[in-house]
Amino acid sequence: MVIDTHRPEVTGARHTLRLMAEPLTDPAETAATSANAVSPRRAVSSALTTTIACSVPVFLVGGLAVQIGHELGFSPAGLGLAVSAYFGASALASVPAGALVERYGSTAIARAGIGLAAACLLTIAVAARSLWSLIAILALGAAANAMGQLASNTSLSRHVPVRRQGLSFGVKQAAIPVSTLLAGAAVPAVALTVGWRWAFVLAAAGATAALWLVPVERADRRSARGGGGERATAALVVIGVGATLAAGSANALGTFLVDSAVADGVAPAAAGLALTLGSAVGVAARIVDGWLADRMPDRQISVIAGMLAVGAAGLGVLSVLNPATLIAGVVLGFGLGWAWPGLMNFAVVRLHPQAPAAATSITQTGVYAGGCLGPLSLGTIAAAAGYPTMWTVAAIAMLWAAAAMVIGGRMLRRHADRTVAAA
């Protein structure tokens, strides 16, 4: 995204919209920190733990799919349906959750999301006795995902200096592969020893602990109620479409990688470790990408498109599964094809700091829609035509996502130029 270096300040109802990276001593940021008394480091650590706690239920289901499916009696299509229901409910909750964050502040909504996620995990451990009960529990707990993501976006935008926000969003989005990493590690550590239900009990306890890490924001600033006309809504929708395609393909990694590897003769423990490796690569990639974004902040959407193109190659490699291609596909898929959400949030927040939750709720809806449609359609393809065909389709969809990002990036640049010209 290109933002003109001479762009002006646009005053919101409650605080100043700044579209360019400012030094650490930016008066607006200093005032925000003083008013809310939340340090950037505390905001980042809270965003990380909140996002992990609110997103871990669905990734734990994917990581333990072999064990859960064996007991509850469902196929890859059933797993895809369960994950799709979760992300579909998250997509429906995203825009309302953004409005709640803007109205009540990030602290209250983050804590509500963590509590809901913990309840979801514990209910799965106790009450999931069939595929349909698992789907119902996941769908009811899915709003936690949207609440945690958007509350974290808002906290970072208000408490982290602009010139460091790329890194902070990268660290926050690293929470997603951390969730997948924990899910993969849970296979040999818990599921194959004391049973998969105990993995959900332990995860619920960990999520509850995250409640105490959410900072209390004094004099929490609410975003401007107006300003809707300032948003590049059309561009955000196009980027959201790209996010739908990209997330639908990338979510296949966390959802189907273990089951796909086992179907090709890989031992369950080794398949779980492969998922752990991919998650670790994803963590590192998201943090490094965020660090680089702070140094080259103007074309992040174009960077995302390039990452998706390379990530598509990684998914294509998985269609010919063997030990070498498994590692290559995991590294490329997680390292590039699933490392872009932090960059996307960073780009959107840079343009809309006056209402970060409302703006990112649009693109986040696309991410969740991909999480819904991807597992459902790809799971059906896997059940009907096999995993190699599924990985090929996922790679093609990721290429289309790259094209949508290019188009959306150009629209954002035109919007920035119009904003400058009108000021």
Domain annotation covers residue 249: yes
Domain annotation covers residue 148: yes
Judge contact between 29 and 43, C-beta under 8 A: no
Domain annotation covers residue 68: yes
- Confidence (pLDDT) at 176: 74
Which among 399, 1, 43 is positioned nearest to 214, based on CA atoms? 43
- Confidence (pLDDT) at 2: 37
Note the pLDDT tens digit of each residue in 266-313.
Answer: 888 888 788 778 878 888 888 898 898 888 777 788 889 999 999 999
Note the pLDDT tens digit of each residue in 61-94.
Answer: 888 888 898 899 888 778 878 888 999 999 999 9
pLDDT greater than 60 at residue 123: yes
- Confidence (pLDDT) at 5: 39
Give percent above pLDDT 70 in the chain. Answer: 86
CATH number, domain of 175, equals 1.20.1250.20
255 pLDDT band, cuts 50/70/90, is confident
Domain annotation covers residue 379: yes
Domain annotation covers residue 100: yes
Domain annotation covers residue 11: no
Domain hosting 202: range is 36-217+231-422
Q: How far apart, in whole angstroms, are the C-alpha atoms of residue 202 and residue 345?
A: 30
pLDDT greater than 90 at residue 351: no
pLDDT greater than 60 at residue 362: yes
Quick check: helix, strand or coil at residue 13? coil
21 pLDDT band, cuts 50/70/90, is very low
22 or 299, which is more confident? 299
Q: And the tokens for 40?
A: 């950037």
110 or 84, which is more confident? 110
Which among 207, 180, 186 is positioned nearest to 121, based on CA atoms? 207
Domain annotation covers residue 23: no
Note the pLDDT tens digit of each residue in 132-143.
Answer: 999 999 999 999
Judge contact between 419 and 7, C-beta under 8 A: yes
Number of domains present in the structure of the chain: 1
Q: Where are the alpha helices (DSSP H) in 264-299?
A: 268-295
108 pLDDT band, cuts 50/70/90, is very high
Mean pLDDT confidence for 236-252: 91
Give the global pTM.
Answer: 0.77
Domain annotation covers residue 203: yes
What's the whole-number average pLDDT of the chain? 82
pLDDT greater than 50 at residue 228: no
